[in-house]
Copies of this chain bind each other. A is one copy, B any other.
Amino acid sequence: MVTLKDVARSVGLSVTQVSRALNDHSDVNEETRRRVKDVAGSLGYEPNISARKLVSGRSGIVALVEQKYPRFTSDFLFFEIVAGLSAEFSRRGMQFVLHLAQEDEDIIAVYQKLIGNGSLDGFVLTKSSRDDPRIAYLKGRKVPFVVHGRLPERTDYPYFDIDNHFVAADSVARFLALGHRRIGLINGIAHFTYALARYQGYCDTLKAAGIEPDPRYVRQGDMTEEFGYRSALEMLVGEGEGPTALFCSNVLIAQGVYRALKDMGLSVPRDVSVIAHDDALPNTDPAAFEPPLSVTYSPLSKSWDPLAEYLCGAIAGKPLDEIQEVLRHDFIARGSVDKARR
């Protein structure tokens, strides 16, 4: 292994000055700096992260901790996250690693251990849930982190999120404007913050229009095609009148909804109008739907850059208001929404 000492000897300087040169400190001659970097490069020097972390507290490594769950290995959304974040941190000269915790482990204990280990600079948290214990814990230990999502009850930490309340509110408002009164919601699992916010947006907008949300028109669960199919079937098959408009929390659900409607001989948008939220994931193209699906559009892939940026900011000690952001979606009108007929 080639160390600072080797470089120093080879370039005829002290270890101190070599370190300062490589780290772009101010008091080193420009010509010297160049020479040092050249020599270090040709020697194949790589700073020993353990040593660096030990003395400076910085390792340049951040982690995403994920706990295994049953659907884990088929959750391609998750790997989209890993790939995206990895690229962004890499671009910033940092290392991003995935630490997979076991199903039976206490997640807080895992963080505790990793922090105690002292080789990470910070964490990215995804899938924030109501009363997320991780946030309270990390905040308490003063470890830098950034959250993909945000909690309704506290926001004193770095985060990047889309305006999920508005995602649902916007869609519902559009339905209302077209005369729909029986509007349904097929949402994600209730304890995730994004699902919660969408549910709130859904309820608030209906209430503001003088409509009491009807629990028969609301389903919350795993956002799969199958779940969308089942939910739509249940809502429309039961006695009483089914919804004339449906908001789906992702495109997969909408896929299931389309299939269910087809199976029942109903048509989009004549019988039922549909809007879905589109994360712009690969393998799902709402424009290819028949008819093309109108969406609230907010590519997940736009999150990786700010998430990385804000975590780096948090590590660098930036003030909170510079490392928080809520983004609004775009609405893309296609052919799946029409005025109410029933």
Contact = CB atoms under 8 A, between A and B. Distances in A.
A50 B46 contact: no
Nearest to A81: B73
Interface of A: 1-2, 44-51, 53-54, 59, 61, 63, 68, 72-76, 79-80, 82-83, 86-87, 90, 95-102, 105, 112-113, 115-119, 282-283
Contact of A54 (B50, B82, B115, B117): B50
Contacts of A63: 97
B44 A116 contact: yes
Contacts of A44: 112, 116
Contact of A90 (B82, B102, B112): B102
A46 B141 CA distance: 14
A95 B82 CA distance: 18
Given A1-B118, A74-B76, 18 more contacts: A2-B116, A46-B115, A47-B116, A48-B54, A50-B54, A50-B59, A54-B54, A61-B119, A68-B86, A68-B87, A73-B79, A82-B98, A86-B102, A90-B101, A95-B99, A96-B99, A97-B98, A98-B98
| A interface SS class | mixed
Given A46-B116, A54-B51, A72-B79, A96 B87 contact: no
A49 B59 CA distance: 12
B112 A46 contact: yes
- Pairs A-B, 8 closest by C-beta atoms: A46-B116, A86-B100, A50-B50, A97-B97, A98-B98, A48-B118, A50-B53, A49-B117
B68 A83 contact: yes
Contacts of A1: 116, 118
A73 B282 contact: yes
B76 A83 contact: no
A96 B74 CA distance: 20
A18 to B, nearest CB: 15
12 contacts: A44-B112, A46-B113, A48-B54, A48-B118, A49-B119, A50-B50, A50-B54, A59-B119, A63-B97, A72-B83, A73-B76, A95-B117
| Residue from the set A63, A73, A99 with the largest chain B CB neighbour count within 10 Å | A73
Given A73-B76, A73-B83, A50 B119 contact: yes
A82 B100 contact: yes
A113 B244 CA distance: 58
A87 B61 CA distance: 22
A299 to B, nearest CB: 14
A327 B281 CA distance: 39
A320 B207 CA distance: 71
Contact of A74 (B113, B119, B283): B283
Contact of A73 (B54, B80, B95): B80
B117 A46 contact: yes
Contacts of A51: 50, 54, 118
Contacts of A2: 116
